[in-house]
Amino acid sequence: MQPILDRFFRYIKIDTQSDPHNEEAFPSTEKQWDLANLLVKELKDMGMQDVSIDKHAYIMATLPSNVAHKVPTIGFIAHMDTSPDFSGTNVNPQIHENYDGKDVVLNEKENIVMSADYFNDLKMYKGQTLITTDGTTLLGADDKAGITEIMAGMEYLIAHPEIKHGTIRVGFTPDEEVGKGAHKFDVDKFGAEWAYTMDGSQVGELEYENFNAAGGKVIITGKIVHPGYAKNKMVNSMTIASEFIHALPEKEVPEHTEGYEGFFHLHTMKGEVEETELYYIIRDHDMKIFEERKELFKKVADDINKKYGDAVIKVEVKDQYFNMREKVLPVMHIVDIAEEAMKELNIKPLIKAIRGGTDGSQLSYKGLPCPNIFAGGHNFHGRFEYVTLEAIQKATDVVVKIAELTAKKYK
C-alpha cells in the first residue's frame, strides 16, 4: 500500500482550498491549478488516453476497453478543491500505525487531542494505519482520497490487463466545495452512460440521495451616529441580524438534526453598526419542505422590514443543487452494481442519504446519473479530519471491481 500512501500525500500537500466569495473566477482559486496540472501529467505517464484539461481546470481521461463485446462506458469522478471552512495550507499529515483505538494527540505543543469517545467512529479503525492532521489544518481526504482511489484503480487496471473491463472515463473537478463543481462539466464530452463520485465518508457508504440545497445571503443596513446621541436615531444592523437569526427555528440547525432532517446553517457572519452580512446554507431532502424553508427565510426578512418600516434587510436565495434520487431511481442497476462490488470484496454496503451534496447531484440532473461511493475519510472540513490507509485501499478495490463487474454483466 506504500504507493497509494505516497500518492495521497503528494495530493494533500498541495493547497487547493476554494473560495466561496470569488464568484466570477472559475476555478475560484488559482492554486487549484497546481494539483490539476500534476494530475494531467500523472494520467499521461501511467498510460491513460485522451487526457484533457480545459480552461476551467476540468480534467478528463480514458482507459480504453480491453474486451471485444460492447460494454457501457462508465465514469469515476472526484473533486480537487478542499473546503474553505478550514485552512488547507501546509498540510502536515501524521501517521499512526496500528492505531490503538484511543485518543489521538494531534499536536502536543498546542494540546490538540482527537477524542475517541467524542469521535467514536475512530474505534472502527482500531489496528489500521490512521492518517490525521497535525491539528492546524484540514487533511484533504475530502476529496483527495477519492482522487487517489481513482488514480490507483486506473493504474492497477493498466498493470493487470487480465481484468476485463469496458471503456472507463475519469473526471476531476474544481470548486465542488463552493457548489460549482459540476457547473461547467461537459457531460457530452465525458461520454459515459453513468458514473460514480468517490466522495463519501465511512467505508461501505453508497448513496443516491442527497439534500436539495440553496445558499442564502442576508444584508442588513443600519445607521451609525455617535452613541452618546443615538436615541431614536441609531439603527444597529448587528442587533437586527440577531433578530433574524433567532426568528428561524432554533433546533433546525446542523448540530440538532440528523438523517433526513433539514436545516438552516449560518456559516459566515460579518458586521458593524452600519452593515451586517449573514451567509446561510439551506438544506432538505424533501423538495416540498425545501421550498417551504426558502419561503420562511424570505418571510422572516419581510416581517422585520415591516417592523422597522424600512427595507433594512435584503435577502437573496439561490438554488445550488437538488436531490439526485429522482434521476437515479430509473437506473437503479447502477447502484446494484456498486453494491454487488462491495459485497464481493466483503465490504458491508451502507446505503443511506447524504447529509450534503456531491458533484453527482448536479451531474445527475445534467444527464449523467452519478451515485456516490465512500472515499473513507471522516470529520471533513476541519482539524479532526482523518482517513485510514486501509480505507483508501478498499475504495480503490471497489473502483476496480465495479469496472470488472460491469464488463461481466454486459457480456
| Catalytically active residues, by annotation | 81, 176
403 φ/ψ angles, rounded to the nearest 5 degrees = -60, -45
Q: Which residues pair with 191 in a beta bridge?
A: none
Q: What is the DSSP string of 165-208?
A: ---EEEEEES-GGGT-TTTT--HHHH--SEEEEEEE-STTEEE-
The residue written with cell numbers 490525521 in the block is 132
CB distance 113 to 106 below 8 Å = yes
> Can you count the helices (H) and strands (E) in the chain?
10, 17
Strand 74-79 versus strand 168-173 pairing type: parallel
Work out the number of other CB atoms within 10 angstroms of the CB of residue 57.
24
In angstroms, rounded to a whole number, what is the distance separating the alpha carbons of residues 8 and 42? 13
d(CA 192, CA 367): 10
CA count, 13 A, side-chain hemisphere, 268: 15
Q: How far apart are CA 276 and CA 269, in angstroms?
A: 7
Please report which helix (H) or strand (E) contains residue 41, including its range.
helix 32-46
Q: Write out the three cell numbers for 89.
A: 495550507
In total, the chain counts a number of residues equal to 411
Instruction: Give the integer Cα–Cα distance in Å for 324 and 3.
Output: 34
Question: What is the spatial distance between Cα 155 and Cα 405, in angstroms, rounded to a whole number?
Answer: 18
Characterise 125 by phi-psi region: left (phi > 0), alpha (psi -120 to 50), beta (else): alpha
C-alpha cell belonging to residue 394:
478498499
Q: Which three cell numbers stand for residue 111?
A: 494540546
Q: Choose among 93, 90, 55: nearest CA to 174.
A: 55
- What are the φ and ψ backbone dihedral angles of 400, each rounded to 5 degrees? -65, -45
Q: Nearest-CA neighbor of 77 among 408, 360, 397?
A: 360
